[in-house]
């Protein structure tokens, strides 16, 4: 068990194993998003109240899911880096931040576009919307901190601490619709409880959520690989790999 | 080395816990400001300021919507099934506005207890359904609004039982 974890922490081993895993996640991501997207946007029934604007859910919910999951993953990686000094965790955390910020932006933007035809407003300072905006700023903060230090180690530690403290915002986002009066409705999609919509609406959403997760894993593997090459460029195995070896 | 790691772990956990407590207390202190709107019960209880812009939220009471045939003026009652607040509005209502629908009304509470609205926002719930299902419910003697009202009643009863 410990041997496996230590191996996982080795950039060289990770570089090799991720090469084999990555294509599977790319295939899964493309297939799931294509099927879920076409099914959800073209074939799933329209909502009885909202009509076709309901279909924004097939982008909005997966993006919002990922925005929060990526932040938790980034904080967990930061934690591993801080306590066990595993550099690979820090590389993963570094490459996750921009994707997470992008997903948060997609969730906010698609939510605003959805808000106009249904609620009648782009934006309200509602607890769910505001806490999601704070998540976006936290991502921007993490990215900015990484660029703000001359030494990479200080930058990594500062970004890890901000990510770990910022994780407090995640339960606030999740429960904001229950703790306070909000304009935003309660959660639509839950793995544990009965779906609040019929199967022919829910299944494409499930495919989209799984597809977005596969996309996140594939992108993270790919970008961590290039981050490994960048940071370990002086190591012998990397030089041999890129053909500069002795 | 091992002791150092352990120490680091506790420092991090302590830091995150303290930050969580600080944020929790702040949110608890600000809880009334974080709520997006006042409920009719709060308005009836005098919690909402008069003649300042506030938001009120609740359901549009069944049978309460009265439109002026010659203008965009509309009057309706917002209810939380305990207290009612009557609302006067002049303007275009959102597509989802209907009786039995959740709304958030932005406006000024008048001393007489009614609300002059500047903006009406529609809320919707998380129960999406295809039109055929809504129609089937209707043919079986339920309107989708009934269905929602029933769901709300059940939820209220469950809350009350807790």
Assign 3-class secondary structure to A63-106. HHHHHHHHHHHHHHHHHHHHHHCCHHHHHHHHHHHHHHHHHHHH
Phi/psi class of residue B122: alpha, beta or left (left: φ > 0; alpha: ψ in -120 to 50)? beta
Asked if the structure places residue A140 within a domain, the reply is yes
The pLDDT of residue B60 is above 70: yes
pLDDT for A227 equals 92
Q: Cα(A209)–Cα(A223) distance, rounded to whole angstroms?
A: 21
Q: Cα(A208)–Cα(B9) distance, rounded to whole angstroms?
A: 37
Alpha helices in A85-168 (DSSP H): 87-118, 127-148, 152-166
Asked if the structure places residue A207 within a domain, the reply is yes
Residues found in chain B? 162
The pLDDT of residue A140 is above 80: yes
Give chain A's domain count.
1
For residue B150, what pLDDT band results from cuts at 50, 70 and 90? low
CA neighbor of A58 nearest in space, from A216, A210, A219: A210
The backbone torsions φ and ψ at residue B149, rounded to the nearest 5 degrees and listed phi first, read: -65, -40
Neighbours of A27 (CB within 10 A): 12
Asked if the structure places residue A114 within a domain, the reply is yes
Asked if the structure places residue A243 within a domain, the reply is no
CA neighbor of A59 nearest in space, from A84, A40, A43: A40
- A163-193 pLDDT tens trace: 999 999 999 999 888 888 888 888 777 666 6
Residues B86, B114 contacting (CB under 8 angstroms): yes
Asked if the structure places residue A105 within a domain, the reply is yes
A→B contacts (Cβ < 8 Å), by residue, are 45-50, 54, 57, 79, 82-84, 117-121, 124-127, 161, 164-165, 167-168, 172, 179-183, 185-188, 196-198, 200-201
The whole-angstrom distance between B85's CA and the closest CA on chain A is 17
Least confident of A77-91, A180-194, B113-127: A180-194
The pLDDT of residue B70 is above 60: yes
User: What is the CA B127 to chain-centroid distance, rounded?
Assistant: 16
The whole-angstrom distance between A83's CA and the closest CA on chain B is 6
Domain with A132 in it: 50-231
Least confident of A240-244, B79-83, B91-95: A240-244
- A90-125 pLDDT tens trace: 999 999 999 999 999 999 999 999 988 888 888 888
Cβ partners under 8 Å of residue B45, min gap 6: none
Q: Which residues of B are less than 8 Å from A183 in CB distance?
A: 36, 104, 121, 123
Cα maximum dimension of chain B: 82
Q: Which residues of A are less than 8 Å from B57 in CB distance?
A: 181
Asked if the structure places residue A28 within a domain, the reply is no
The pLDDT mean for chain A works out to 89
Asked if the structure places residue A3 within a domain, the reply is no
Query: Can you read off the two tokens belonging to residue A83?
Result: 């306590």
CA neighbor of B126 nearest in space, from A202, A197, A123: A197
Nearest Cβ partner for A46 among B5, B20, B131 = B131
Interface test with A, best of B126, B138, B146, B148 (most A CBs within 10 A): B126
pLDDT for B37 equals 87
Residues A63, A110 contacting (CB under 8 angstroms): yes
Q: Cα(A21)–Cα(B67) distance, rounded to whole angstroms?
A: 62
Cβ pair B126:A48 closer than 8 A: no
Q: Cα(B122)–Cα(A115) distance, rounded to whole angstroms?
A: 9
Query: Can you read off the two tokens belonging to residue B37?
Result: 């709107």
pLDDT for A161 equals 93
The pLDDT of residue A69 is above 70: yes
Contacts 24+ apart (CB under 8 A), A236-244: A237/A12
Q: CB contact, 8 Å: B100 with chain A?
A: no
Asked if the structure places residue A38 within a domain, the reply is no
C-alpha R_g of chain B: 22
Mean pLDDT across the stretch B125-150? Answer: 65
């Amino acid at each position: 068990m410990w041997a496996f974890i230590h191996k996982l922490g080795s950039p060289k081993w990770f570089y090799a194993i991720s090469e084999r895993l990555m294509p599977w996640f790319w295939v899964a991501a493309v297939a799931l998003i294509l099927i879920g997207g076409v099914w959800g946007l073209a074939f799933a029934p329209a909502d009885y109240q909202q009509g076709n604007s309901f279909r924004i859910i097939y982008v909005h919910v997966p993006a919002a899911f990922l925005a929060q999951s990526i932040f938790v993953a980034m904080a967990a990686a930061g934690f591993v880096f801080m306590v066990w000094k595993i550099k690979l965790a820090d590389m993963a955390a570094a490459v996750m931040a921009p994707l997470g910020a992008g997903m948060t932006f997609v969730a906010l933007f698609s939510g605003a576009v959805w808000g106009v035809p249904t609620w009648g407003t782009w934006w309200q300072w509602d607890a769910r919307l505001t806490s999601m905006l704070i998540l976006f700023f936290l991502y921007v903060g993490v990215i900015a901190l990484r660029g703000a230090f001359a030494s990479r180690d200080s930058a990594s530690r500062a970004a890890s601490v901000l990510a770990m403290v910022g994780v407090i915002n995640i339960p606030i986002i999740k429960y904001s619709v229950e703790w306070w009066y909000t304009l935003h409705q309660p959660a639509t999609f839950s793995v544990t409880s009965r779906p609040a919509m019929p199967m022919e609406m829910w299944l494409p959403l499930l495919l989209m959520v799984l597809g977005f997760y596969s996309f996140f894993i594939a992108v993270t593997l790919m970008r961590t690989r290039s981050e490994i090459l960048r940071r370990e460029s002086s190591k012998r195995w990397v030089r041999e790999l890129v053909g500069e070896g002795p | 080395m091992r002791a150092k790691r352990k120490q680091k772990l506790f420092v991090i956990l302590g830091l995150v816990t303290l930050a969580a407590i600080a944020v929790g207390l702040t949110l608890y202190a600000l809880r009334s400001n974080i709520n997006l709107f006042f409920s009719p019960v709060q308005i009836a209880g005098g919690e909402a300021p008069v003649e300042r812009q506030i938001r009120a939220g609740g359901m549009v009471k069944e049978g309460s919507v009265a439109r002026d045939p010659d203008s965009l003026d509309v009057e309706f009652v917002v209810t939380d099934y305990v207290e009612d607040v009557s609302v006067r509005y002049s303007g275009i209502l959102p597509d989802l506005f209907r009786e039995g629908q959740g709304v958030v009304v932005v406006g000024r509470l008048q001393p007489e207890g009614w609300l002059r609205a500047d903006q009406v926002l529609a809320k919707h719930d998380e129960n999406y359904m295809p039109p055929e299902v809504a129609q089937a419910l209707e043919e079986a003697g339920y309107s989708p609004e009934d269905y929602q009202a029933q769901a709300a009643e059940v939820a209220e009863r469950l809350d009350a039982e807790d």
